[in-house]
Amino acid sequence: MASIDSLVQEWLRLDKNPTTRSEIEKLYADQNIDELEKRLRNRLTFGTAGLRSSMKSGFSGMNDLTVIQASQGLCMYLLDTIPTSVNKGIVIGHDHRHNSERFAKLTAAVFLNKGFQVYYYRGLVHTPLVPFGIKKLGASCGIMITASHNPKQDNGYKVYWDNACQIIPPHDKGIARSILNYLEPWIWDAELVNHSPLCIDNVKEISDFYFEELKALSNHREDNASSKVKFVYTAMHGVGTPVAKRAFETFSLNPFISTKEQEDPDPDFSTVAFPNPEEGKGSYAMAMKTADENDARIIFANDPDADRFSVSEKQKNGEWIIFSGNQIGIILASTVLEKYKAQGKPISKLAMLASTVSSKMLERMAKVEGFYFEETLTGFKWLGNKAVDLEQQGYEVSFAYEEAIGFMIGKIVKDKDGVSALATFAELAVQLDKRGLMISEYLEELYKKYGYFITENSYFICHSPPTINKIFNKIRFGENPVKSSESDYPYQYQISYPSTLAGNKITYIRDLTIGYDTSKPDNKANLPTSKSSHMITFGLENGCTLTLRTSGTEPKIKYYLELSGEDKEKVEKELRMITKSVADELLEPEKYELDYKTE
């Protein structure tokens, strides 16, 4: 194992940024070995989410050096796997976070240095414009510098392949290996984008094409123009305001009322603890205040890079409710379904997708209505690639969603897109208003048609990976794991999952970390498995489904619960009991010193 002295010297040999160099020099001068170990011992891992970490010096952080190294590895991997990639070019965009523009410029320089055509979006863009650009230009790859809704100290490096979808295996592992082969920076130049003839800024042209395709989703522009419905919008200090405004104009919707304090890009996210609409009323507080002051009853929110979308509605009793990702998903799915039916197309050729931790209500809708449904692993990297596969089989994949407020509508991008979701939902709200219905009342109609699907999704915070491993291994192998003595036994320890939860018998178990699935004759899961993350699903005899998983981008243990039935109050009561047992019986937050979610 390399000494900390040699790691420090290697960092100082490679790093040309005076700020991050001085950070390591100071830590070394102070002999802060613990912090140096954290920053230098382990490299920031490249995975299907690309890179995401806090911005700091060291091999484990997001900084100039690690971005250049990742770009060099990706560049050489592209040259090996797509021989025409130099001429096809790559698309690069960035958000408004600290260092995002610099990281994008350094990335572009790496590819320009190897003769790539680089479509470099100057200025801030919402994330979906990168995969859209790949599709429109026939590019070989796309990179978006963003950390989405993460805290202000984080940044990220998101990669899309030539099918305009986020990368999936084996590309992630291939890129990760390639990075290790090209650690020596071959160029460090943030100004090359300003004078290279290979660098093209066509962001206006691509944006125009994007909104042309968005316009095709609108069916009721006359109604939109004459509607008196008031909408309030918050960009959550991100890049969404200009694209949201243009989306409203494209659908002939009257201008929304902007939450002034949050409408401009602000890398410090000054008015919210977490710049994520999923975090509840704390993140919505200023938008709700704006809506109350303007007598508006509907609020739309995008996350900072505008690929996610959220909705809140003021009820008749004056209370604001924030719809869950599952509720928004089923409402949008119903809208897409009605539009598809109106076109007279064969229902058997329509396909919709959802992630495995999302509500099963879309699956129920598919059975009732007759369209094809499939679920994938969590994340739009899986949903987008599955959509491509299904289209090759002759299906029209008009909708996909994940419960984490990510929605794909139509063929604009094979990724979540908060702007197309916003415009589509606004048009639906206008149509509901014509019928005298609130959004919540329309949702109730859908529940009565397809059944009440009640979900409870939340998380605990844990900054210790060994503790997370201990919790999940306790769940799968028991408090006192017993090593397997059988030579052909597929697991290191004898499995010992719980047999009950909240007094309900567990009838089904799927563990995608070790590839175990009790629904299969050989107990082997057919969904892709990953030893680098945890994901366990339990089915209870009362029909409840529970999934526990780790996050790929945040220090969280997430849980997803769903129970369905015809009696809403009974379902809600039963689900509350099971939710309590998830903490008490499985995760044990006090024992493992987990932090609870805060508003």
At residue 524, the 3 state secondary structure works out as strand
CB half-sphere exposure, 438, CA atoms < 13 A: 17
What pLDDT is attached to residue 162?
97
Q: pLDDT tens, 95-142?
A: 999 999 999 999 999 999 999 999 999 999 999 999 999 999 999 999
Q: pLDDT tens, 371-380?
A: 999 999 989 9
Q: Predicted confidence band at 224 (pLDDT cuts at 50, 70, 90)?
A: very high
What pLDDT is attached to residue 597?
84
What pLDDT is attached to residue 281?
86
Q: pLDDT tens, 226-275?
A: 999 999 999 999 999 999 999 999 999 999 999 999 999 999 999 998 89
Under a CB-based contact definition with an 8 Å cutoff, are residues 371 and 351 in contact?
Answer: yes
DSSP annotation of 584: I
pLDDT at 486 over 80: no
Q: pLDDT tens, 4-26?
A: 999 999 999 999 999 999 999 99
- In whole angstroms, what separates CA 294 from the centre of its chain? 32
Give the torsion sign (CA, 266, 271, 275, 276).
Answer: negative
Q: Which domains does the chain have, with CATH numbers?
A: 42-203 (3.40.120.10), 217-450 (3.40.120.10), 453-596 (3.30.310)
Q: pLDDT tens, 309-344?
A: 999 999 999 999 999 999 999 999 999 999 999 999
pLDDT at 298 over 90: yes
pLDDT at 487 over 70: no
- The residue assigned the tokens 């994520």 is 276
pLDDT at 475 over 90: yes
Nearest CA-CA partner of 440 in 345, 315, 295: 315
Q: What angle do CA 521, 524, 529 make, to 5 degrees?
A: 155
Q: How far apart are CA 414 and CA 386, in angstroms?
A: 9
What pLDDT is attached to residue 484?
80
**What's the whole-number mean pLDDT along residues 218-222?**
97
Q: pLDDT tens, 490-501?
A: 788 888 999 999
Amino acid occupying residue 333: A
Q: Predicted confidence band at 63 (pLDDT cuts at 50, 70, 90)?
A: very high
CB half-sphere exposure, 63, CA atoms < 13 A: 23
Q: Show the tokens assigned to 239.
A: 């890049």
Q: Predicted confidence band at 599 (pLDDT cuts at 50, 70, 90)?
A: low
Element (H, E) at 511: strand 504-511
Q: Predicted confidence band at 485 (pLDDT cuts at 50, 70, 90)?
A: confident
- Residues with catalytic roles: 148
Residues in Cβ contact with 250 at an 8 Å cutoff, skipping those fewer than 6 apart:
211, 214, 215, 218, 423
Q: Predicted confidence band at 536 (pLDDT cuts at 50, 70, 90)?
A: very high
pLDDT at 417 over 80: yes
